[in-house]
A and B are shown apart, each in its own frame.
Chain A
């Protein structure tokens, strides 16, 4: 046998083993997060259906989500609307299709950008905070203390956050969508010289009830996914301060990915073919 091949194999072996290990760790961690989140989701719905939601923590969490994330989601969606208008207003007006600018901006904001941008803002401001808070509680044995006091951490910590996010995101999305449409209107007027009334007429003509219901539904699902992944990842943290940081990063990444997949599925179910 060629000796040089053996040498090359032995040099490569540590790397292939390392890659294999990393792949195994990655896939087992992937399955662990998915399985754990699925169990927590089941438990959350169990307590929700049993009527175990307490109002005070729910309202506190709703206020936290609203106050923390509304500013950034308004800015994100406002500028998204302005950018869309900037890209299309002048060109469509030149082509004599200025009456469609409002409709195009409104549909893209309502169906896609408002829930996505609100979701981004909530992941950044709230999801990361949830995973860090719960991971710290887990490491400091506060979660164990809850169990010793006969309180299920899913009911006490996850359920109010889950319900608050499911309620607040749709409301926030409607507000941010309005900001995006208004932003598009101002830019269409300044850049494309479009009349405000024509723009708004175009919006009313094209926007249907199902667009508004669809965007609210999307936002509600995003809120559920963000809280379930963030809290589940936070609650499964072990170790020290570095692990709190890792948990926060993982929660953000998982929330983004889950939201992107849910966005496609929901867009297909709600708007495809319409």
Chain B
């Protein structure tokens, strides 16, 4: 019996000022799968992610999520800099939602319960004792992990990651990559990771989707990606200047 996909993207099209960014994108993601959407900078990866998470509207096409309970981890963490780590992580429990129905969030928590939940979520991403700090007092890697903790507060079934290792050193990147896999295993999430980092793809992805020129140029398993003869995938995997992807077309 075929498994119902968690995420279904059908024929998404998007243009900005006459420039086509996405031209008929179709993606299906199975439960618990980690799909890496890759491509050179400016190819529309983040736009696709913003459309999937409802932050932007497509010109045409549909996005179907099997569960409304989803979350998005932003490229540069996007933590609220006027709030402490505790307030950032507990944000969705402290604020009454204005729209949507985040099912997993019961109405009221006592302060003690909030502290316990925040501690637990921070522990899941390997942090403790930083609840009173402001984001500006943390390193980039720690900020990223706090944003993970904030994202998993509602135990989401789908997490979108926008360039989760951007601006991090290789070791901090590896830590973040391991947490993406760990979160998938611990809270059973389906993930779409937008990246152009080859080490990230190798470490976390089950499947790869290469975006260029507004279209999906190659799609397949992680093992096939490094063996395929597809000129786009080959150029990207070898980080080669020779190939169909040029700077001019980006």
Contact = CB atoms under 8 A, between A and B. Distances in A.
B106 to A, nearest CB: 14
B74 to A, nearest CB: 5
B98 A152 contact: yes
Nearest to B83: A142
Contact of A147 (B55, B75, B80, B102): B55
B98 A151 contact: yes
B232 interface: no
Contacts of B99: 150, 152
A145 interface: yes
Q: Is the interface of A mostly helix, strand, loop or mixed?
A: helix
Residue from B75, B81, B98, B150 whose CB has the most chain A CB atoms within 10 Å = B98
A140 interface: yes
B95 interface: yes
Contacts of A150: 92, 97-100, 102
A200 B137 CA distance: 55
A147 B95 CA distance: 12
Given A148-B71, A149-B95, A152-B99, A142 B80 contact: yes
Contacts of A140: 76, 78, 81
A145 B95 contact: no
Contacts of A152: 98-99
A142 B81 contact: yes
A142 B92 CA distance: 14
A140 to B, nearest CB: 6
A152 B95 CA distance: 10
A149 B69 CA distance: 10
Contacts of A141: 74-76, 78
Contacts of B81: 140, 142
A111 interface: no
Interface string B61-101: 00000000001101110111100000000011001111110
B53 A148 contact: yes
A196 B50 CA distance: 67
Interface residues of A, number: 16
B8 to A, nearest CB: 20
Interface residues of B, number: 23
Interface in B93-146: 95-100, 102
A156 interface: yes
Given A144-B55, A147-B55, A149-B91, A155 B98 contact: yes
Interface string A143-182: 0110111111001100000000000000000000000000
Contacts of A52: 96, 98
Contacts of A145: 72, 74, 78-80
A29 B74 CA distance: 29
B132 to A, nearest CB: 18
Interface string B10-28: 0000000000000000000
Contacts of A149: 91-92, 95, 97, 150
B208 to A, nearest CB: 25
Nearest to A50: B98
B20 to A, nearest CB: 20
A137 B91 CA distance: 16
A155 B99 CA distance: 11
A253 B55 CA distance: 30
Contacts of B79: 142, 145
A148 B98 contact: no
A182 to B, nearest CB: 37
B78 A142 contact: yes
A140 B136 CA distance: 13
Nearest to A155: B98
30 contacts: A47-B98, A52-B98, A137-B80, A140-B78, A140-B81, A141-B74, A141-B75, A142-B78, A142-B79, A144-B55, A144-B74, A145-B72, A145-B74, A145-B79, A145-B80, A147-B54, A148-B53, A148-B71, A148-B72, A149-B150, A150-B97, A150-B98, A150-B99, A150-B100, A150-B102, A151-B91, A151-B95, A151-B98, A152-B98, A152-B99
Interface of B: 50, 53-55, 71-72, 74-76, 78-81, 91-92, 95-100, 102, 150
Give the top 7 A-B pairs by smallest Cβ distance, nearest first: A150-B97, A152-B98, A141-B78, A145-B78, A150-B100, A148-B72, A141-B74
